[in-house]
Chains A and B, each alone.
Chain A
Amino acid sequence: MANNDIVMLEGGPLIDPAALEDALGWALKPEGLCKDDTCVIVHDRAALMSGDRVDVTAVASLIDRPAAHDATSDLVAIGAPRDLRRAAINDMRAPDFTLPDLDGLPMNFSDHRSKKRLLVAFSSW
């Protein structure tokens, strides 16, 4: 998925800090939580950590993404940055997304930019 929009992790919320960037696109650095040229100041670094592991749900909260943990299976789902949906709802800006077509080939909504688009959500249920 482009931009790590949604994430599913196995093995619970505590991960090796070195794996954080692969999981969420953000890395824990001396200056804070960073992605490309952007850093978020971490006021209480200890609150993100459990021993030498980092809690991805705490990191998700800091970068304004929802997270859910099923303790039995230890799967952790992290949702899209809330900013993307707020852009749609408050600023009327259409968030981009990438989904497979019927042949399994990924398509970006933005591939159709510069055209008027009717976006239709439907289902078989």
Chain B
Amino acid sequence: MIAVAVDEDVETIRGAADGITYPILIDADHVVTELYAISNVPTVLMIDEDDNIVQPNWSAYASDTFRELTGINSETQMDHIRAWAKVGTLRMSPEDAKGAVHDLSSEEEQARLFFRIATRLRNDGDAEGAERNFVTAIDLAPHDWTVQRAAQPLRGINPFGDAFMELYTAFNEAGRPFHGVTGH
């Protein structure tokens, strides 16, 4: 297992990493969300010994914390992961897996680049420039959680407050656009 934090907050991630032995990587620039067309977390992929993606972007949970919102039973998902790890059972046929993830639109690509510029300006102490570029990124990809929600703590917005419900409502109204597959 390799965990990638789509996050710049190393100390918070470190606090949650106590006792964990698998690698935890920090992706402050959202490299992996660009390379794998990831639009929300958690997103899980199963990749075999030969670099083949046998389970593309999957909204899978390690606990039932969000069950009320998602309707997902994490234990069923964990069973799929264990079965693959032990005996190689695939959750999706290769035909279904192929084409399960839509490519990023050019707006979603651009949003990732402006997010990166915003993060850089924020680190350089240019709060105004950071905000300008975060807003540009969000306008380009308003339903992409790795853009809008990831920007919230960096913009001084509580990601678990009113802003979450606003985004969640807009996301539902947009038909829950997700680059990947959901369900058990």
Contact = CB atoms under 8 A, between A and B. Distances in A.
Contact of A102 (B14, B47, B113, B152): B14
B53 A113 contact: no
Nearest to A119: B45
A43 interface: no
A121 B101 contact: no
B49 A73 contact: no
A69 B94 CA distance: 39
Interface in B109-154: 109-110, 112-114, 116-117, 120-121, 126, 129, 132-133, 136, 146, 149-150, 152-153
Interface in B1-38: 1-7, 9-10, 12-14, 16-17, 23-27, 29, 31-38
B137 to A, nearest CB: 9
A118 B77 CA distance: 13
Interface string A100-121: 1110000101101111111111
B31 A77 contact: no
Interface in B93-109: 94, 97-99, 101-104, 106, 109
B43 A121 contact: yes
B85 interface: yes
Range, interface on chain A: 35 or more
B34 A6 contact: yes
Given A93-B51, A94-B51, A116-B85, A6 B103 contact: no
B2 A6 contact: no
Given A6-B34, A80-B34, A117-B47, A122 B5 contact: yes
A116 B48 contact: yes
B4 A99 contact: yes
Contacts of B110: 66, 68
A85 B104 contact: yes
Contacts of B117: 8, 68, 70, 73, 75, 77
Contacts of A25: none
Nearest to B179: A89
Given A77-B117, A92-B53, A99-B26, A66 B109 contact: yes
A5 interface: yes
A73 B44 CA distance: 36
B84 interface: yes
B31 A1 contact: yes
B37 A66 contact: no
Interface of B: 1-7, 9-10, 12-14, 16-17, 23-27, 29, 31-38, 41-49, 51-54, 56, 81, 84-85, 94, 97-99, 101-104, 106, 109-110, 112-114, 116-117, 120-121, 126, 129, 132-133, 136, 146, 149-150, 152-153, 159
16 contacts: A6-B34, A73-B117, A75-B121, A77-B114, A84-B35, A85-B103, A93-B53, A99-B32, A100-B26, A101-B25, A102-B10, A109-B2, A116-B85, A120-B43, A124-B13, A124-B16
